[in-house]
C-alpha cells in the first residue's frame, strides 16, 4: 500500500523538526498539569473547605419559582352590578419533592385535612408529568381549623404549605349559572389541545358558559416571583417579582333585576326563561332550572358531587335555553301566519269552520276544541289547529321551511355561549337524506302546528318571534356591544361575538351577513307583520289563550304553545305515574309593548301542561317586573361588600 506523497513529510528522517515539536509538547504537558492541579485545588476548596457551608446552602436551597395566580376578569351586569368576582382564599399546596414518607403524608392529609386518600392519589396521578418541584393544590378555601392544623405541623410536614390566592366567587350562587358557567382545573385534553395560550397543569380555566366562551379574555396573565425558601419551605426573601395582571372585565347585556325575578319564578319548576331586547338581540335574562351552584366547582369539585350532578335525571348542568330542543307547538302558528301572508296564501279575511277536527289526506287531525267560524285573528288568538292545518296544506312544506329558516329555526343562533344546539327544521330533502324515506303529505300538517319532527331551542324561538315583533332579524348576544374593552392583556385570539351574523333569505334561499349593531338589517314586511302582531295581541287581550299574561296599561302580545310529547291515543294507555313524565311542555312567547317592543320573553315549563296556564303567568310577572316601577328595589345579595381586585 503506497500512499506517501512528496507533500507529506515524515518526521523520522527529519529529526530537527521533531525537536521543536517535541519541545513545544513539553509546554503543553505543563499546561495540562497546572490546569488539573488548579481544578483539583478548586474542588478541594468547594467540597472540603467550604463543603459544610455549601451543604447548608443546598439544603436551604432555596430558590423557588412561585406562580402568582392572576385573578380572572370580573363579570358585571348591564348596569355594572357584579355577578362574578374573586375572593381571597387560603389554599393548601403539596410540594411533592419534599415528601419524605408517602404513606405518612397521605395519612396526615386524610386525617388532618379530611381529604380522602384516593382523592389525593388521583391528584398525584394527574400531576405525574409535571416537574416534582412544582407545588400542587391539595385543598382550597381552607377553614381556620385547617390553617391552624397545617401551621402547627410545619416542622413534621414541611411538604404542605399554605398560599393565599384569588378564588372565583359567584355572590348570587346559582343565579344565571348556566349562562355564566363555572371554572375548574384545566383538563388533560385542554392541556394538550392548544386552544389556550401557554397552558400549565393546575391552571384554572372556564369550563362552561361565559367563563368558557371568553376564557382567554378573562384569564389575565399570571405573575411569578422567585423566592429563597428554607428547609421548612418558608420564604426567607424575595429575589424578583412580576405581578399578575387581572383579566378583562366583561359587561353583560343581562339585567340583574329581571334575572332575579326569572329565577324566582322558575324556582320550583323545570324549564327556562329567556328575555331579550327584540330590537337588538341583547339578552336581558336567561334562567334555566334546575340549576347548580358554580361556587362548588371553583377549583376541583369532589368526585362524589360531580357524579351526582351528572347522574341527576333533571340534567341540572344543561342550559335549557340553548341546549334543550323542544317541539314549538302552537307558538309556531305565529310563523305559519306570517309565512302564509308573505306567500299570499292567506289574507286577514281567510276563514275556516272548525268542528273540532278535520279530515285531510284521509286522516283525522284533531283540534283542542270546536272553534266554529274562525278568521286569521281568531285562529291565532284561540290557537285553532284546523285553521293552520288548512294553511299548512296550502303553503306546502317547502315554503314553510323557507320562512322558518329565515327567522332562524333549525340552525344555531350563534349566541356567544358555548355548546348551543341547532334544533331541527324538517324538509323533504332532509328526510330523504337522513332517513332515506319520502316525505308524507300528512307530516306537513303536523309541522303546521309545530309538531312532528320540528324541534327548536328556546333561544331560537326568542330570536324568531323577536323578528316578527320588531320587524328586524337580530343576533342574540350576552356580551354588551361594544363592550370588549381595550386592555393591554387582550390577546389576539380573544373570542368576541362575531361582528356579523348570517341570515338565510326566504325569497332567494341565500345567506347574507349583516352587522350586529343593527345599522343594516333584514326588514320584514311591515303590513304582514302587523297583522300577525294584532293576532298575538288578541291572544293576551281579547280572550285568547294567553290571558294570564295580561297587564293593564301595557300592550302585551304573545302566543301560547302546548307541545305534545306523546299522541293522545298513546297517553290513554299510560298509568298515572307515567303521565306526569309525558305531560305537555308549556310555552309562552310574548313581547311588549306592541309598537316598538322593548322586551321579548320566552317561557318554557317542561311538563307544565297548558302554555296558557303554566307559562303565561310567569311571562306576565316578568313584564310587570320590567315595566312597572317598584318603590324600593331590594337585592337579596349574599354579601354586602364586594371586593373587586
Place of cell 382567554: 216
* Selected range binding another protein among 15-23, 241-249, 459-467, 522-530, rule: CB under 8 A: 15-23
Interaction of residue 232 with another protein, rule CB under 8 A: no
Which one, 12 or 194, has the nearer CB to another protein?
12
Interaction of residue 40 with another protein, rule CB under 8 A: yes
| Residue from 78, 81, 221, 226 in contact with another protein (CB under 8 A) | 226
Least separation in angstroms between residue 132's CB and another protein is 6
| Residue from 4, 349, 575, 632 in contact with another protein (CB under 8 A) | 4
Distance separating alpha carbons of residues 321 and 459, to the nearest angstrom = 6
* Selected range binding another protein among 5-13, 458-466, 482-490, 544-552, rule: CB under 8 A: 5-13
Interaction of residue 35 with another protein, rule CB under 8 A: yes
**Cβ burial 385-416 (10 Å sphere, 16+ → b, else e):** bbbbbbbbbebebebbbbbbbbbbbbbebbbb
Interaction of residue 30 with another protein, rule CB under 8 A: no
- Quote the DSSP letter at residue 598: -
Task: Compute the C-alpha angle 402/404/406, nearest 5°.
Answer: 65
Contact 523, 472 (CB under 8 A): yes
Which one, 17 or 122, has the nearer CB to another protein?
17
- Give the per-residue contact string, 238-277, with another protein (x = CB under 8 A; - = no): -xx-------------------------------------
Distance separating alpha carbons of residues 211 and 297, to the nearest angstrom = 12
Distance separating alpha carbons of residues 238 and 233, to the nearest angstrom = 13
* Selected range binding another protein among 38-46, 288-296, 592-600, 613-621, rule: CB under 8 A: 38-46
| Residue from 30, 54, 111, 493 in contact with another protein (CB under 8 A) | 54
Contact 274, 462 (CB under 8 A): yes
Interaction of residue 16 with another protein, rule CB under 8 A: yes
| Residue from 30, 42, 353, 429 in contact with another protein (CB under 8 A) | 42
Interaction of residue 46 with another protein, rule CB under 8 A: yes
Which one, 55 or 347, has the nearer CB to another protein?
55
Contact 563, 450 (CB under 8 A): yes
Interaction of residue 24 with another protein, rule CB under 8 A: yes
Least separation in angstroms between residue 20's CB and another protein is 5
List binders of another protein among 334-353 (CB under 8 A). none
Least separation in angstroms between residue 48's CB and another protein is 6
Contact 475, 285 (CB under 8 A): no
Strands 351-354 and 283-289: unpaired
| Residue from 30, 79, 88, 97 in contact with another protein (CB under 8 A) | 97
Least separation in angstroms between residue 39's CB and another protein is 6
Tell me the H-state helices in 50-187. 51-60, 102-112, 117-126, 144-152, 177-180
CB atoms within 10 A of CB 493: 10
Which one, 32 or 236, has the nearer CB to another protein?
32
Contact 414, 398 (CB under 8 A): no
Which one, 62 or 396, has the nearer CB to another protein?
62
Interaction of residue 53 with another protein, rule CB under 8 A: yes
In 3D space, the residue among 616, 607, 624 whose CA is nearest the CA of residue 268 turns out to be 607
**Cβ burial 501-516 (10 Å sphere, 16+ → b, else e):** bebbebeeeeeeebeb
- 274 in helix, strand or coil? strand
| Residue from 30, 31, 307, 570 in contact with another protein (CB under 8 A) | 31
Which one, 238 or 578, has the nearer CB to another protein?
238
Q: Which three cell numbers stand for residue 621?
A: 310577572
Least separation in angstroms between residue 149's CB and another protein is 27
Contact 405, 504 (CB under 8 A): yes
Contact 150, 112 (CB under 8 A): yes
Least separation in angstroms between residue 19's CB and another protein is 8
Strands 235-242 and 557-563: unpaired
Least separation in angstroms between residue 136's CB and another protein is 15
List binders of another protein among 117-156 (CB under 8 A). 128-129, 131-133
**CB proximity list for 458: less than 8 A, separation 6 or greater:** 272, 274, 320, 321, 322, 324, 326, 602, 604
Interaction of residue 1 with another protein, rule CB under 8 A: yes
| Residue from 61, 491, 509, 567 in contact with another protein (CB under 8 A) | 61
| Contact residues for another protein, defined by CB under 8 A | 1-5, 7-12, 14, 16-17, 19-22, 24-25, 27-29, 31-32, 35-36, 38-40, 42-44, 46-48, 50-55, 57-59, 61-63, 97, 128-129, 131-133, 226, 239-240
Amino acid at each position: 500500500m503506497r500512499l506517501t506523497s512528496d507533500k507529506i513529510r515524515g518526521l523520522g528522517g527529519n529529526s530537527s523538526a521533531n525537536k521543536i515539536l517535541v519541545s513545544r509538547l513539553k509546554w503543553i504537558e505543563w499546561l495540562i498539569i497546572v490546569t488539573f492541579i488548579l481544578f483539583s485545588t478548586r474542588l478541594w476548596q468547594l467540597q472540603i473547605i467550604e463543603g459544610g457551608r455549601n451543604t447548608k446552602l443546598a439544603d436551604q436551597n432555596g430558590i423557588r419559582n412561585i406562580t402568582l395566580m392572576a385573578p380572572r376578569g370580573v363579570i358585571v351586569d348591564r348596569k355594572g352590578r357584579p355577578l362574578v368576582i374573586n375572593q381571597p382564599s387560603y389554599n393548601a399546596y403539596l410540594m411533592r419533592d419534599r415528601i419524605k414518607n408517602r404513606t405518612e403524608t397521605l395519612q396526615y392529609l386524610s386525617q388532618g385535612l379530611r381529604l380522602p386518600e384516593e382523592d389525593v392519589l388521583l391528584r398525584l396521578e394527574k400531576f405525574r408529568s409535571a416537574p416534582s418541584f412544582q407545588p400542587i393544590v391539595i385543598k382550597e378555601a381552607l377553614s381556620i381549623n385547617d390553617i391552624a392544623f397545617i401551621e402547627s405541623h410545619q416542622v413534621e410536614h414541611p411538604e404542605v404549605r399554605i398560599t393565599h390566592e384569588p378564588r372565583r366567587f359567584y355572590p348570587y350562587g346559582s343565579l344565571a349559572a348556566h349562562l355564566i358557567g363555572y371554572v375548574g382545573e384545566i383538563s388533560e385534553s385542554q392541556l394538550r389541545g392548544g386552544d389556550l395560550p401557554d397552558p400549565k397543569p393546575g391552571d384554572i380555566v372556564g369550563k362552561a358558559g361565559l367563563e368558557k366562551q371568553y376564557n382567554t379574555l378573562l384569564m389575565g396573565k399570571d405573575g411569578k416571583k422567585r423566592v429563597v425558601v428554607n428547609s421548612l419551605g418558608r420564604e426567607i426573601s424575595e429575589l424578583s417579582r412580576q405581578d399578575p395582571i387581572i383579566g378583562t372585565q366583561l359587561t353583560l347585556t343581562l339585567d340583574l333585576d329581571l334575572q332575579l325575578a326569572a329565577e324566582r319564578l322558575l324556582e320550583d319548576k323545570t324549564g327556562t326563561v329567556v328575555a331579550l331586547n327584540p330590537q337588538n338581540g341583547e339578552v336581558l335574562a336567561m334562567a334555566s332550572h334546575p340549576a347548580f351552584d358554580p361556587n362548588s366547582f371553583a377549583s376541583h369539585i369532589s368526585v362524589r358531587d360531580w357524579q351526582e350532578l351528572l347522574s341527576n335525571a333533571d340534567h341540572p348542568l344543561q342550559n335549557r335555553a340553548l341546549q334543550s330542543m323542544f317541539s314549538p307547538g302552537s307558538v309556531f302558528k305565529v310563523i305559519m301566519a306570517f309565512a302564509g301572508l308573505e306567500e299570499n296564501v292567506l289574507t286577514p279575511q281567510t276563514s275556516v269552520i272548525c268542528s273540532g277536527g278535520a279530515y285531510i289526506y284521509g286522516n283525522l287531525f284533531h283540534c283542542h276544541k270546536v272553534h266554529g267560524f274562525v278568521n286569521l285573528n281568531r285562529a291565532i288568538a284561540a290557537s285553532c289547529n284546523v285553521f293552520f292545518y288548512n294553511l299548512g296544506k296550502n303553503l306546502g312544506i317547502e315554503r314553510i321551511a323557507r320562512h322558518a329558516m329565515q327567522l332562524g329555526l333549525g340552525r344555531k343562533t350563534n349566541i356567544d355561549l358555548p355548546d348551543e344546539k341547532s334544533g331541527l327544521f324538517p324538509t323533504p330533502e332532509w328526510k330523504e337524506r337522513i332517513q332515506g324515506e319520502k316525505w308524507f303529505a300528512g307530516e306537513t300538517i303536523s309541522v303546521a302546528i309545530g309538531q312532528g319532527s320540528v324541534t327548536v331551542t328556546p333561544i331560537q324561538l326568542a330570536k324568531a318571534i323577536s323578528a316578527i315583533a320588531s320587524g328586524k332579524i337580530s343576533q342574540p348576544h350576552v356580551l354588551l356591544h361594544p363592550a370588549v374593552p381595550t386592555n393591554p392583556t387582550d390577546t389576539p385570539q380573544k373570542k368576541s361575538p362575531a361582528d356579523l351574523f348570517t341570515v338565510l333569505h326566504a325569497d332567494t334561499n341565500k345567506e347574507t351577513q349583516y352587522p350586529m349593531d343593527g345599522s343594516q338589517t333584514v326588514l320584514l314586511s311591515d303590513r304582514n307583520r302587523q297583522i300577525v302582531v294584532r293576532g298575538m295581541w288578541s291572544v293576551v287581550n281579547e280572550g285568547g289563550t294567553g290571558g294570564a299574561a295580561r297587564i293593564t296599561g301595557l300592550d302585551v302580545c304573545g302566543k301560547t304553545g302546548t307541545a305534545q310529547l306523546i299522541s293522545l291515543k298513546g297517553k290513554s294507555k299510560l298509568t298515572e305515574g307515567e303521565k306526569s313524565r309525558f305531560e305537555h311542555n308549556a310555552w309562552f312567547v310574548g313581547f311588549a309593548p306592541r309598537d316598538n317592543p322593548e322586551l321579548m320573553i320566552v317561557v318554557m315549563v317542561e311538563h307544565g301542561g297548558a302554555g296558557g296556564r303554566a307559562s303565561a303567568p310567569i311571562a306576565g310577572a316578568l313584564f310587570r317586573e320590567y315595566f312597572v316601577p317598584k318603590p324600593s328595589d331590594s337585592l337579596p345579595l349574599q354579601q354586602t361588600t364586594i371586593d373587586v381586585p
